Structure 1
């Protein structure tokens, strides 16, 4: 009797299963209970349809990951291979791509990038700026891809910066580079090596003008024969603010007239010349390429430095010694600040969408950003709290401002816990350059600008480092510029500036 009951139970279970299967195969479907569940269902289906095809039972895409190359303005740091291997685990998981950093010594960066672009080399991303691997020049040459449409696909990246910042990155109305989210307030200054400041009882607070540096540098020259008092000239320190346009032209936003910049810095250049004659600069200042090694060896007392909260701690991490800072001008957000550090996508990139997706990932993923900046926990640094680390000596380090969002950065020894909150306050309180939205169209004077740029490259290092008599150098510079179309470019800038101002009213 028990055996019969078991048989009936089994049969009943079978009938129930068959009934359920028949119900599932019928054309009737239960409607979602509300609009939200309908939307969730639709979104789920759309998401699945956009996902890479995977092997059954696996979350790994069957497509080969896209390999992306990124040129960076840096010698290869120690432990780089291990850091990139770990970074690629994150990158491949998140966007099915891998990253190869192409490290270039800073002294060779301009030449290397010019060669890469002129040869049509296929690469994806490159560090670019107003001061190296010229952002505006390369964009105008067609070396970089316009990003306006692509950026709309990444609202988090686009919304990370104010619209004025994006305006500052425009060339001929288009955005060709992603500004790295960092200190946007451009505040000039100079760092001084703290052990020598203490040794010679120098009061940084007493330095209120360019001439005040002379006695300070003389003390270093007299007391430290193996140390250069200054790395290169700071002729514009403490000068009035001007909005820069096309190399040596500038806008006086008080009068809205275009002026010739060296006219404002002549006194500074002459003082720089005196410093050179006194032996304050490195002996090979005219040809020096590897300043990083010189600085790390403790053979430089001072250098220009953009001011920002936590700057002293960051410089110590880079150079290995303490510094104190002297602020030499107001905090301003201008086009130069915006274009001081960007990353552009090459016009030769085969995967521009994926390249921008990588930039977006580096800017929004805190783990990845800090990995690329500080290296691997335990190997390159010790984590002492959730957001604070202590770098290990002689370990991996990369400048975060070169490739990503510094507001995701760990805090270093010597930095305040809320250093990035302070940075935001400085950004928010800084003066916005009244001309930040002015975009100069170089097309009518492209040939003249190319000639002027070459002339500047020849003469500016001479003036900035005091290598020759200032009056003779300025006279020769202006004479060559006049012959190359100086007046024509100045008139064109003024014409476009006037039209832009009229359109604002």
Structure 2
């Protein structure tokens, strides 16, 4: 458990997302040895052995302070890269709080930048905007020449973020799908002899909530999401009663991810039923009563003993992750199929800046990030013997080096999922030895949206889009957390959305989705 605490910030982000696919094409490589794609990059490096080394600048997102030993690890990485591809790398970690603004500045100011973490999680990234403004280098030809390790790792999903047929960013190989689950305190399940495997329906959940409400004074049965802004629309709306696709923003969705028909979720029967259920749960005290003002995370409330459980996205290993965050044993109750869509895959990606003077060399380094375990583990874990030690070399299991722990290590950024191919990274002692195999199976088992790879460009309806977003910000949280009566507020919400122009946005999204389907021969 202690090794999971070190990764709290990054793992919270994995609600991600994040971030799996029946036809994934993911090779599921283990964390031992080198993949075939590494030979492509190494060959390119040998061809350039007589050339003067170049320095590349790589910007990436972190959630905490810059590690004290960043330069020491950067020096070790450069020693390795000089041998492999005849270049050095300047690592530029940027905190999540201002990552988007800093990257925009670097892309427009002419400041040196070659590789950058980008994506479609709008809290941190502006991938679509960067690509449309010509700020990202088209990667298609470079992938063909130098990116075999990337295509081996991602398979068909190497082009999940393509715009107008061109790839400007490649997803990191991590959890590329998600399922909806209810995470709850194991101790209370056992206390009341509740069998989690028998909880399949809303009625089953309500019976559990009633038991907790009636018998545990001061404990709220459920929270709508993992954060204060979370709503039942986000956590359950398109995954519990249907396998849908939010199409990134829920402003025009697929109620069925196997049918390319864009609908207004907020006008649907699904939304009405869920809003009514949220209100009923709120009236009965089943969900958080101060959700609209409480800023605590669900994990913090569980740790404080005032919350039984919460809804959220999950993946293999989620119980250990959430147990560490909550400070007690947590049980996952799976409520949906495993689903994958564009947003889950493209949440975290890597791009090459259009202004890079060495895009070919940038691609060679990026290829190593997906195919070379030595490079990946330097990025993820630092230097063996200094920051970590091998516990089981055959299985690739590590722990902190002697005399070092989570609070004293000089290098532990907790963003393993961000650096290329997580599945060739070492596994921390205490995690399942089969974690990466389990994650690969999880990705492969997903129901993949037919709109996988679709990116909506709202430019032509930007006025309506902004107005619709404003209306959603006003109504969604209160309706989705059950604090207002949907019989009166939901019709008002729908009417305001129509006045703002949601039908115009949905029509444009349908036009673009139809064109996407035709271009990609999707029936």
With normalisation by structure 1, the TM-score equals: 0.72
Question: Does the alignment pair 1:164 with 2:156?
Answer: yes
Question: Is residue 344 of structure 2 the alignment partner of residue 337 of structure 1?
Answer: yes
SS at match of 2:314: coil
Secondary structure of 1:266's aligned partner: helix
What number of residue pairs does the alignment pair up? Answer: 449
Are 2:259 and 1:258 equivalent residues in the alignment? Answer: no
CA distance, structure 1, for counterparts of residue 91 and residue 282 of structure 2: 42
Residues 29-70 of structure 1 show CA distances to partners (whole Å, capped at 9, x for unaligned) of xxxxxxxxxxxxxxx9997662254xxxxxxx6x5x525242
CA distance in 2, matches of 1:494, 1:323: 41
Out of 295, 308, 312, the residue aligned to residue 319 of structure 2 is: 312
Q: 1:325 to 1:250 in 2, by over 3 A?
A: same
Shift of 1:332: 2.9
Query: If you compute each CA radius of gyration, which structure gives the higher value, 1 or 2?
Result: 1
Per-residue CA deviations over 1:306-353 (Å, capped at 9, x if unaligned) read 333333344456666543212221123322321233233445656554
Q: 2:398 matched to which residue of 1? A: 389
Q: How far 1:181 sits from its partner (Å)? A: 0.9
For residue 51 of structure 1, the aligned residue among 43, 49, 52 is 49
CA drift of 1:267 comes to 2.6
Contact 2:209 / 2:286 at 8 angstroms: preserved in 1? no
Which runs of 5 or more structure 2 residues have no equivalent in the other structure?
Answer: 1-41
User: Which of residues 117, 122, 128 in structure 1 aligns to 2:104?
Assistant: 117
State the distance in 2 between where 1:464 and 1:80 align.
Answer: 44
RMSD value, Cα: 4.1
State the 1:165 CA deviation: 1.4
Q: Are the counterparts in 2 of residues 191 and 305 from structure 1 also a CA contact under 8 Å?
A: yes
Structure 1 residue 186 corresponds to structure 2 residue 178: yes
Which deviates more from structure 2 when the two are superposed, residues 148-157 or residues 213-222? 213-222
Q: Give yes or no for the alignment of 1:223 onto 2:213.
A: no
Aligned to 1:268: 274
Aligned with residue 411 of structure 1, among 412, 424, 427: 427
Q: Are the aligned partners of 1:73 and 1:127 in contact in 2 as well (CA < 8 Å)?
A: no
SS of the residue corresponding to residue 76 of structure 1 reads coil
313, 321, 328: which one aligns with 2:335: 328
Indicate how the Cα distance of structure 1 residues 151 and 45 shifts in structure 2: closer, same or farther if over 3 A, else same: closer
Q: For the residues of structure 2 that align with 1:176 and 1:45, how far apart are their CA atoms?
A: 24
Superposed displacement of residue 490, structure 1: 1.8
CA distance change for structure 1 residues 320 and 486 in 2, over 3 Å: closer, same or farther?
same
- Which protein, 1 or 2, shows the higher relative CO under an 8 Å CA cutoff with sep ≥ 6? 2
Q: Report the CA distance between 1:388 and its aligned residue.
A: 1.6
Q: In 2 relative to 1, CA 153–346 (structure 1 residues): closer, same or farther, beyond 3 Å?
A: same
Q: Check conservation: 1:373, 1:399, Cα contact below 8 A.
A: yes
CA distance in 1, matches of 2:200, 2:421: 33
Please, which of 86, 100, 115 is the counterpart of residue 91 of structure 2?
100
Shift of 1:113: 0.9
Partner SS for 2:179:
coil
Residue 249 of structure 2 corresponds to 247
Q: Deviations over 1:129-186 (max 9, x none)?
A: 3463354455445554433233233232442245531343223333222111123333
Cα separation, 1, equivalents of 2:173 and 2:44: 32
TM-score by length of 2: 0.70
